[in-house]
Every structure is written in structure tokens, then in C-alpha cells.
Amino acid sequence: MQILKPAVLLYFLFISFCVTSQSDEDVIKTIYSQSLTNGKSYDWLNYLSNQIGGRLSGSLNAEKAVAYTKEELDKLGLDKVWLQPVMVPKWVRGIKEYAFIETPNGQTTIVNICALGGSVATPSLGLKANIIEVKNFEELEALGKEKIEGKIVFYNRPMQADLINTFEAYGGCVNQRYSGAMEASKYGAVGVIVRSMNLRLDDYPHTGSMGYEDLPNDKRIPSAAISTNDGELLSTMLQLDNSIKFYFKQSCKQLKDVQSYNVIGEITGSEYPNEYIIVGGHLDSWDLGDGSHDDGAGVVQSMDVLRLLKESGVRPKRSIRVVLFMNEENGLRGGKKYAEVAKQKNENHVFALESDSGGFTPRGFSFDCNDASFNQVLNWKPLFKPYLIHYFEKGGSGADVGPLKTETNVLAGLRPDSQRYFDHHHASNDTFDAVNKRELELGAATMTALVYLFDKYGVNPITNKGTIKK
Amino acid sequence: MQILKPAVLLYFLFISFCVTSQSDEDVIKTIYSQSLTNGKSYDWLNYLSNQIGGRLSGSLNAEKAVAYTKEELDKLGLDKVWLQPVMVPKWVRGIKEYAFIETPNGQTTIVNICALGGSVATPSLGLKANIIEVKNFEELEALGKEKIEGKIVFYNRPMQADLINTFEAYGGCVNQRYSGAMEASKYGAVGVIVRSMNLRLDDYPHTGSMGYEDLPNDKRIPSAAISTNDGELLSTMLQLDNSIKFYFKQSCKQLKDVQSYNVIGEITGSEYPNEYIIVGGHLDSWDLGDGSHDDGAGVVQSMDVLRLLKESGVRPKRSIRVVLFMNEENGLRGGKKYAEVAKQKNENHVFALESDSGGFTPRGFSFDCNDASFNQVLNWKPLFKPYLIHYFEKGGSGADVGPLKTETNVLAGLRPDSQRYFDHHHASNDTFDAVNKRELELGAATMTALVYLFDKYGVNPITNKGTIKK
């Protein structure tokens, strides 16, 4: 153990005095100022995105990201940093997918597709068949086996443009991607092409997870996303002539589970060390871009929360952890593992905050909690006004923190501006240049400010099993 | 005059009935939905930016923009569309600027500069001199004639990163750009280099207006902006060796004023035709990029306000005008002319809204008005909540509508998210690809909703010289 010199001790006493005597307004101002003038999130993201790149679960890059973030957390002088083992699925894309539309006279038009995560491959020479467009599972059912059998099903329901929250528009479409193959297989379809979950018309196909659930292997049909521009083209060509054929070839494969890790760092609480506040994002990403928005941003913001607390002179009463979850995209194994271990160890997780909605200008938070806790949060809202943080609503939190839910704790998700998110989501243009430094840093500061408040005041004491905490 | 068929008449009666019986919530929802699914702003911007391009006052492109927007407004079936003549200054950049830093041993490093708008040229062979860095006019004064004479002055005060509103950070720096040459000239400086007004470190020099006021011609020294990266380089090199020299060459020139126009379209009010509500942006831009954010966005949003009102079935009681102002950037002649003519004609401008802060996600409005009117506006705030519009504050409005100010009317400016604005402002990367379609459309809808409310309810009747209007 290091012996502190008197001058150093005095310094810490001074800092400690300053913080305890500072108003919440002042502490929060320091946090934002630190993030905007001295933040680390952007540098970390630069490394994750440009030196490592896409971090699909089970890939070499994912393991590089584990090692890098562990090393960076080690440098921060936290009380503990460790890796939490977790087995993760390993799906590999194989060689680049290839697809074209063929007219009856043999003319072909190449289109942009990518395999959906979890999909099986096509036969090695590819798959060519007639293709039929539907907008939803009801249309599929109405067409029935007679019209579907032997064909490729093309799901082409676009995201609803007049929903303000683009995640709602996503929620209204994503069943085509996740369950499209499963449903189409029931009617004898041989493959599935899904319009990319993208509000823009452009040439990028967007991947994402799909599942077969308990479908037997011989019923599992290959499934790919098509870019919105090519989806529109395909739809138009089908309207002109429904006898056109679609060809696609993909060699993706599900391998055996492999060992990976959640990366965890902790500042141990000075007064209530068994009350845990966690902040996190997911370290894995899809493989097409470099995962800067999904979820490199959440990872580096969460890391910076602990550093910003220290830099702002906050000495937490409760234990604050950053948790970098592995395998959010295609398995959620990291989130489940973290909750499982927390339960085994009887760790009381009072507040968990996730950032997994992109690195855009933060607008506020969505809270999954009881009314008493939500009212407590609403009291803090004026503290955020100078930073244009206005969105405090009840709703979902995040996939990785979800398994930590109890009756009394608070889960939350950072809510950045959502307008551009699906331009990049799961596509090859989810890259570092699409992240603005200030927007990223504002997000980190906003998260830090909320963590600071929950640490200082605890979760609403009345509902928290009667225990009064100040 | 066209005679309406009974069916058409019935249709109009129906629409009219629908709107009068619709709640404000419903009308505003229709407005947003129309903009996001059927908006014209993005298409218009595509043409302005990609088919015309930068629109510096007095340039051929500016006149093309006048003709194009007039033609598009003509297609909308407004009650009147016309051009309002205004004489504008014509400054031309000449051939591309060139600059380097030279060390005493003769090594040169090329750096990125651009002439500031309104600057004189360097001598035709360029200007080479020692260069001295200052952060503000106080430092300049302290150095005095002895240290400044015969040198180039380098203003290097960066925008303050920890201000949340980037326009505040801009306001804290822009005197270096506007008045830097005037001030440095007092002490015998031979030229001025100004750090670009940009919060990012990158290679784009940002132009913008500068002035000499009543400085005699022989005291007018050339002034240019340097990119932030090259500003940092220059500063570092000066710290290592203050005997380095700076060379720059620019051939810009102020020509005689030329004829140009404000473009105006009007829906004449059905009940109070002499109460005017105007919405506008400026048609001119700087010449380096294509002026998509500054202020192509404001132009096309303002145009779409009138179209969206019509499409949403709103029949205005007051006269609603779109005004596309010429020459905001380097003279404000359009704004002044519009106000002058309005005064001559005794037109009562009750509300004027400007969009000139970029085409990013709208956050709200800033209002220049009395307290009674501001309270009226605050009552409407809940109507905007579903669209995440939360910022309603007193403050400035916009340069072009400023001259319309009276004691009782309301001026306002749209306030989009400001984080990315100065990445592009007045630089060659202010281009169409930096504008997101949805963000632009949300801005147009937000403006339309506010215009709808002011048209329906009028400006606060109590303060409006006692006239009761409903």
C-alpha cells in the first residue's frame, strides 16, 4: 500500500471538501465542462473503431476490444478492474454476399445484400427462385403454401416515416427481420430477402439478428437484407413482371460457442459498498462497419463516466461500476451472465444505466422504475435544463441491463437524438466519421450527472423496502 | 378566373370544415406527418445545393436561386408571388488563395486559408512578413505599434468548447474575424490571419464577413481565415521560433453594387389580411460550399411552411408570407429592404419567424417579444412535446427579421441542435450530404406548427394596442 504524503492528503481533503460543499448545479457544471474540454471518450472510440474495427461476438476483434478496454480501465486508477467470463455464440459471415435480379429474358441487375446474423448459408452455388413481395405476416398467411412454396419471400414493409422516435418505427418493422425466415419457411419458401431497417433510401444493406427458434435444420432457410434503394427497385420490377427471379449467395455459418468476457471496472462505495450503480454499453458490434454508434459510443461514454466522476472530485458513496457487455447483438449472453453473477453474490443493484442508442446529441433518459422513483428523477430535471436535456419519460431501458430488474431498483437508457441512428445502424456506414465529438461527450456528461445524483441521493428511500438512506 | 365545379367546392368546404373542427393537436399532427411523408424541403434543397450551389450575393448563382425559388413558389398556387428589388454588394473571391509558413532556413509548409468576405487582396505577388499571435484585442493593444508594425497578426482565440450552445461560443470569438483587420491596422499590421470559427480540429478554412468601417483605403489590410488544424500548427511553430514568416496571396475584390431581389410568396389572410406573419431564411450563401445548412435549409423550410399549411387544410386568417432574403451574409440589404417597404406600406407584421441556424433536428425557438406574448407562447409548449420540441426561451430571433421589430410584435428564430453547425458553417463542407432529410423536415413542420398557432390565435390581444382579436 502506498503511503500518502501530507501534501497529497491535504489535496484530497481539499477536493473532498470542495465537492461536499458544492451544489449539485456546480458539480454537474464541472462534469460537463470536463467532458467537453478534457473528455476521453472520443479518443477511446477512435481506437476501438479505427484500430480495432467491427467486433462481432467470438471474433478476434471482439477479444482485442476486451483486452484494450481492460487495459484502459486499468490506467484509470479504479478500485477494481476485471474480466467476467462468458461463453458466446460465434457466427461468421464468410465471403461477401452476392445477389442479382434476373428478368425472363436473362438480363441481370446486381443488388446490395448482406446475410442476416444467425442465418444459414445458401447452397454453395447460390439460390435462384421466383420472388414474391409481402408487407407482413398476415399477407404471407393469406397467400399460403400454394403461392409461396419454392419461392423467395421479399419482406418490404418500410419503417414508418411519421413516427418521431425512430426506434418506434424500427420496432414496427423488425419482426420481418427477426422472424421472417421462420414464418416464410412454414409455407415452403426457400429463402428470405428483407428490406433494410433504414429510413433513408440508400445503397447500404443493414444486417441484424434473426432466429429460427426450434425449427428443424432442414427447414432453416437463408435470410438476407437488401438495401432500401434495391428494395424499391425489386418492388418496382416485381410490379412490372412478377415472373422475375432473384439469385443470392451467402456462405455464413454458426460455429460452436467460444469463450469471451464482460469487462468490468469499479469504484467501491465509501458508505454503501453493497449498493451498486452500473453504467454500461456493449463491446460487441456487427461486422459490417466499425460499430462506432452501435455501440462503441455507449462503451466509451460508460468508461468515461467513472473517469469524469473522479476528475470532477466526486467520491461515490455507493459502488459505481462500468460494465462493458459482450454479445448484446446476437445472444445477450453478457447481460444475462452479469445479472446471474450479481444475483449469486447478492449484490444490490439499485440503479443501472445503459447507453445503446447511438452517440448523437443526448436528449434525456427513459426509465424503467416505479412511480416513486420516477418522481424522484423528475425532481432532478431542472438540473439538466442548462444542458438541453429535457426528455425524462417512463419506458424501456436497455437490453443488457434488463435482466437486473427488481421491483425497487431503477433501470434507465440514455436517449440521444434518434433521427440519424437508423441511417447507420448495423450497416457498413456505422463508422467513426459519423460520430461527432461534442455530441458523444455531451452524452458521457449527461450519464455522469445522473449517476452522480443517484449516488448522492440513492434510490427513493420510501419504496426501497423501508430503508432510509441519505 | 376559373369557375369551381360543385364537387370541387364541396371538397373545399369539407376540408375547411375538417380544419375548423379539428383540435390543435390534430392539425399539428397532420403538419408533421405531411412534412415527414410528403415534404418538399429536401428536394428543393437538393436542387439549390447540387444544381445551383454556393450563392454569394451578386453572383450568377444567387440570381439562379432567385429565379428557381420564384418558379417553385409559383407552382404552389399561393395568392401572390413576387420579386422585391434590392441592390446588393458584390464581393468576389478571385483565384484560390495560397499560403505557407516559412522557417528561417527556408523550409515551407503550405497551410489552408481563405479570404474573409469583404477583405481586400494582398499585393499581386502576395504578402510575406513575420507573424505574431494574439488571443484578443487587449493583447494586441498591450503589444502596441512597436511589436505589431510590419507584421501579420494571427488571431487564435478558439471557440469555447464547454458552452452548450455553440452560437454562444461563436459570439465569443467572431469579433476577431469581423474587426480583426480594423484593429490590427491601427498598430501598423500588414495583414491578418484568423483562426477559423470551428469547434473541430480539421483542415477547412471558414470564411465569413469582415469590415473596415470608415478606415481609409490605404489602411485596409488583407484578412484571411486559417483552418483550425493549421492554426494549431502555426501556433506551435511560433512557440518554437517566433522569427518564422507567413506568406499569403489572395485576389479578392469589392465590386460595385448590383441589382438583386428578395423572393416573396403570400397566402392572403381571410379575416385580417393586413396582419402579416412572415417566415423566412436567406437565399444568399457564402461561396465555398453550397450553403446547404447556411441557409439553404432555412429557405426550403420556409417555402414548405406555406405548402404544408395548404396541404394540412389550414386556411389562414392572417396573411402568411414566405420571404427569401437576399444578402444576409455580407450586408443584410434584403432584410433592411423588406422592413423598409413594409413600413412604407403600413403593413402590420405581427409575427416573423426566421430559420438561419442550420437544418439539424429542431429543438425549439428563441423569442424576441414582450412578456405577455411570451407567456402566450409558453401556453402552446405542450402541443410541441410529442415532437420533442422543448426549447422556448426569450432571446434573439434572426438577422433578417430583426429590422421588423416593434414594441408589440413577436420575432422568433428556429433553434435546431447546434452541436454540428460550426463544423460546416461558411466552409467548403457546408454541403447537401451534411443535411439529414428527416431533421430538415422536422424543422419545417415545427415552424409550420408555430405559424399555424400564431395565425389562429393572433399575437397577445391585451398588449396589442388594446385591439381584441380572436
Q: What is the pLDDT of residues A41-81, one digit of tens each?
A: 999 999 999 999 999 999 999 999 999 999 999 999 999 99
Question: Where in B227-376 does DSSP place strands (E)?
Answer: 245-249, 253-267, 272-282, 318-325, 348-354, 362-368
Mean pLDDT of A387-400: 97
ipTM value for the complex: 0.93
pLDDT at B135: 98
How many domains does chain B fold into?
Answer: 2
Selecting from B33, B386, B436 the residue whose C-beta is nearest the C-beta of A419 gives B436
> Cβ A164–B442 below 8 Å, yes or no?
yes
Q: How many CA atoms lie within 13 A of A338 on its CB side?
A: 35
Q: How far apart are CA A47 and CA A72, in angstroms?
A: 11
Selecting from B36, B166, B391 the residue whose C-beta is nearest the C-beta of A161 gives B36
Name chain A contacts of B361, Cβ cutoff 8 Å.
361, 417, 419
A2 domain residue, yes or no: no
Q: Please check whether residues A170 and A118 belong to one and the same domain.
A: yes
The boundaries of the domain holding residue A148 are 94-251
- Min Cα distance B237 → chain A (Å) is 23
CB neighbours of residue B243 within 10 Å: 9
Q: Please check whether residues B275 and B397 belong to one and the same domain.
A: yes
Enclosing H/E stretch for A320? strand A318-325
Q: How far apart are CA B22 and CA B13, in angstroms?
A: 14
Name chain A contacts of B33, Cβ cutoff 8 Å.
162
Sign of CA dihedral A374, A375, A380, A382: positive
Q: Please check whether residues A183 and A73 belong to one and the same domain.
A: no
Nearest CA in chain B to A442: B164
Among candidate residues B217, B251, B285, the one where a domain is terminated: B251
User: Which cell numbers in the block locate residue B280?
Assistant: 423566412
Q: Please check whether residues A162 and A242 belong to one and the same domain.
A: yes
User: Which cell numbers in the block locate residue A38?
Assistant: 478534457
Among candidate residues B222, B251, B280, the one where a domain is terminated: B251
- pLDDT-derived band at B470, boundaries 50, 70, 90: very low
pLDDT digits (tens, 9 = 90+) for A348-362: 999 999 999 999 999
A5 domain residue, yes or no: no
pLDDT at B465: 47
| % chain B with pLDDT above 70 | 94
Give the CATH number, domain containing residue A375.
3.40.630.10
Name chain B contacts of A166, Cβ cutoff 8 Å.
438
Asked if A342 and A401 touch (Cβ cutoff 8 Å), the reply is no
pLDDT at A21: 73
Q: Please check whether residues B274 and B380 belong to one and the same domain.
A: yes
Selecting from A161, A386, A437 the residue whose C-beta is nearest the C-beta of B200 gives A437
| % chain A with pLDDT above 70 | 94
Query: Is residue B138 predicted with pLDDT exceeding 70?
Result: yes
Q: Please check whether residues A292 and A222 belong to one and the same domain.
A: no
> Cβ A32–B442 below 8 Å, yes or no?
no
Asked if A176 and A184 touch (Cβ cutoff 8 Å), the reply is no
> Cβ B420–A442 below 8 Å, yes or no?
no
Mean pLDDT of B112-123: 98
Query: What mean pLDDT value characterizes chain A?
Result: 95
Q: Please check whether residues A244 and A287 belong to one and the same domain.
A: no
Q: How far apart are CA B132 and CA B189, in angstroms?
A: 10
Among candidate residues B220, B251, B282, the one where a domain is terminated: B251
Spell out which chain A residues touch chain B, with contact meaning CB-CB distance below 8 angstroms.
32-33, 36-37, 161-162, 164, 166, 199-200, 361, 363, 386-388, 390-391, 417, 419-420, 423, 436-439, 442
Query: Is residue B250 predicted with pLDDT exceeding 70?
Result: yes
Selecting from B361, B388, B423 the residue whose C-beta is nearest the C-beta of A391 gives B388
> Cβ A36–B161 below 8 Å, yes or no?
yes
Selecting from A37, A361, A390 the residue whose C-beta is nearest the C-beta of B390 gives A390
Q: How far apart are CA A396 and CA A407, in angstroms?
A: 15
Non-local (6+) Cβ contacts of A219 within 8 A are A185, A212
Q: Which of A361, A389, A440 is the best residue to mutate to test the B interface, defined by the most B CB atoms within 10 Å of its own CB?
A: A361
Peptide bond into B423 cis (omega under 30): no
Whole-Å CA distances, B56 to A145, B64, B100, B289, B291: 63, 11, 27, 10, 9
B1 domain residue, yes or no: no
CB neighbours of residue B100 within 10 Å: 17
Q: Which of A166, A357, A366, A417 is the best residue to mutate to test the B interface, defined by the most B CB atoms within 10 Å of its own CB?
A: A417
Q: How far apart are CA A54 and CA A56, in angstroms?
A: 6
Q: Give the distance from CA B317 to its chain's centroid.
A: 29
> Cβ B164–A391 below 8 Å, yes or no?
no
Q: Please check whether residues A72 and A161 belong to one and the same domain.
A: no
pLDDT at B20: 57
pLDDT at B109: 98
Active-site residue A328, yes or no? yes
Q: How far apart are CA A134 and CA A136, in angstroms?
A: 6
Name chain A contacts of B423, Cβ cutoff 8 Å.
436
> Cβ B164–A386 below 8 Å, yes or no?
yes
pLDDT at B21: 73
Mean pLDDT of A317-322: 98
B366 domain residue, yes or no: yes
Catalytic residue among B328, B329, B354, B441: B328
Name chain A contacts of B37, Cβ cutoff 8 Å.
161-162
The 3-state DSSP class for residue A440 equals helix
Q: Please check whether residues A188 and A175 belong to one and the same domain.
A: yes
Q: How many residues does chain B have?
A: 470
Q: Please check whether residues B132 and B242 belong to one and the same domain.
A: yes
Q: How far apart are CA B387 and CA B24, in angstroms?
A: 14
Non-local (6+) Cβ contacts of B234 within 8 A are B101, B111, B131, B133, B154, B156, B193, B226, B246
Asked if A414 and A276 touch (Cβ cutoff 8 Å), the reply is no
Q: How far apart are CA B193 and CA B180, in angstroms?
A: 9
Q: Please check whether residues B207 and B242 belong to one and the same domain.
A: yes
User: Which cell numbers in the block locate residue A184?
Assistant: 416464410
Name chain B contacts of A438, Cβ cutoff 8 Å.
161, 166, 199, 419-420
Q: Please check whether residues B171 and B290 belong to one and the same domain.
A: no
Give me the phi and psi of B92, to 5 degrees please. Answer: -120, 145
Catalytic residue among A97, A133, A183, A328: A328
Give the CATH number, domain containing residue A115.
3.50.30.30
**Cell 423496502 found at:** A465
